[in-house]
A = this chain, B = another copy of it.
Amino acid sequence: MKRVNIGLLGMGNIGTGTYKTLEMNRAGIEARTGLDLRITRILEIDTERDRGVSVSKDSFTQDPDSIFSDPEISIVIELLGGVEPATSFMLAAMNGGKSVVTANKAAVAANYEALTEAAAKNGVQFRFEASVGGGIPILTALTGALLANEYTEIMGILNGTTNYILTKMTQEGRAYEEALAEAQAKGFAEADPTADVEGTDVANKLAILLSLAFGKRVRPEEIPTKGISQITKEDIEEARSQGCVIKLIASAFYADGKLKYFISPTYMHETHPLAGVSNEFNAVFVKGNAVGELMFYGKGAGPLPTGSAVMGDVIEIARSL
């Protein structure tokens, strides 16, 4: 059995979900991969909270450098969220010779070059499957199994909050404000829903997809972005009269030889695979010049789906160590 020690930055909901994913499936992971994965140090202030998992108090630290300089740790998982200090911590970890796994779309979108260059310079791996589509293994597919394709189009439903709101408006005739309030009550939307409903969360994800699938580096704030807060019941009805549903779609495609990209509420005809993606689910529709049309569907958020993606990246790295 190959032992691999892991440092974890942040044990909020996603960090706890990642820890739980590893603990509940430890036996299977060991049997299938021969890897003994251990989260040995955790950067986290709140050491008292009951997380429903058994964590040794000795694992907690308030000193990030104690993780980056620990010669026993090979992989650092960053789940703090936000651009800083997450980016600085990831760079420090890679400069310390650790491979890094993150779910942090904001940091990856903002600092893609610096992070990927630090990985190359230090001969370590940098993976961020969980940053787009949560548990859906879309980034691994785009940069692995599908690499023999030229991608011609990507369309994604990449935000569960807005998809939940639009689904309620479509299926139950709710007004936008009612559906938003329900999403907030169910924990699918935050008290300040701006980043979700105005599309800035999706812009981070589309920026990452543009980098990986098209080699095109665009800052998220440069992506033309329209959210869903102006969508009315009448808009939903007008779409329905044309056999369509309205979805918040992140698009990238070639037209006249140029790469176009934008985020906008979009009429999707009911026969399109993305039209049936409802509630908090996400999906990514990809066209490749060999494979044709593909779609990947699943949960785009949540502690365990995100934990699945994070631990998948950890396993891929640990196998190659």
**Interface residue ranges, A against B (CB under 8 Å):** 17, 20-22, 24-25, 28-29, 31-33, 129, 135-137, 140-141, 144-150, 215, 271, 273, 276, 278, 281, 288-299, 302, 304-305, 307-309, 311-316
Which residue of the partner chain B has the closest CB to A17?
Answer: B290
- Shortest CB-to-CB span from A17 to chain B, Å, is 8
Contacts of A276 in B (CB 8 A): 273, 276
Contact B135 A21, beta carbon cutoff 8 Å: no
- For A291, the chain B residues whose CB sits under 8 A away are 135, 298-299, 304-305, 308-309
Q: Which single residue of chain B is at the shortest CB-CB distance from A129?
A: B145
Give the CA-CA distance A296 to B273 in the complex, in Å: 11
Pick the residue among B24, B31, B147, B298 that contacts A294 (CB under 8 A): B298
Given known contacts A145-B309, A273-B276, A311-B148, A299 and B289 CB-to-CB distance under 8 angstroms: no
Q: How far is the CA of A140 from the CA of B291 in the complex (A)?
A: 15
User: What are 12 residue pairs bridging A and B, where the CB atoms are less than 8 Å apart in the complex?
Assistant: A25-B148, A25-B290, A32-B215, A140-B141, A148-B307, A289-B304, A290-B308, A291-B298, A291-B305, A293-B298, A295-B298, A297-B297
B273 A148 Cβ-Cβ under 8 A:
no
Are the C-beta atoms of B312 and A145 separated by less than 8 Å? yes
Cα separation A292 to B303 with both chains bound (whole Å): 11
Q: Taking CB as reference atom, which chain B residue is nearest A311?
A: B148
User: How many Å from the CB of A20 to the closest CB on chain B?
Assistant: 8
Give the residue of B21, B136, B148 whose beta carbon is less than 8 angstroms from that of A315: B148
**A270–chain B nearest beta-carbon distance, Å:** 9
A250 to B273, alpha carbons, bound, how many Å?
21
Contact in complex: A148, B29 (CB < 8 Å): yes
Contact of A292 among B20, B293, B298, B313 (CB under 8 A): B298
- Closest CB of chain B to A160's CB: distance in Å? 12
- CB closest chain-B residue, reference A277: B273
Chain B nearest CB: distance from A229 CB in Å?
27
Residues on B with C-beta less than 8 A from A273 are 276, 297
Contact B299 A292 (CB under 8 A): yes
Using A22-B148, A291-B299 as known contacts, list a sample of 12 further A-B pairs with CB atoms less than 8 Å apart, ordered by residue number in A.
A28-B150, A33-B147, A135-B291, A146-B308, A147-B311, A148-B314, A276-B276, A290-B307, A292-B298, A294-B298, A295-B295, A297-B297
B299 touching A297 by the CB < 8 A rule? no
Contacting residue for A147 out of B29, B147, B281, CB 8 A = B29
A257 and B29 alpha carbons, distance in the complex (Å): 19
The docked-state distance in angstroms from the alpha carbon of A121 to that of B24 is 32
- Contact of B22 with A136 in the complex, beta carbons under 8 Å: no
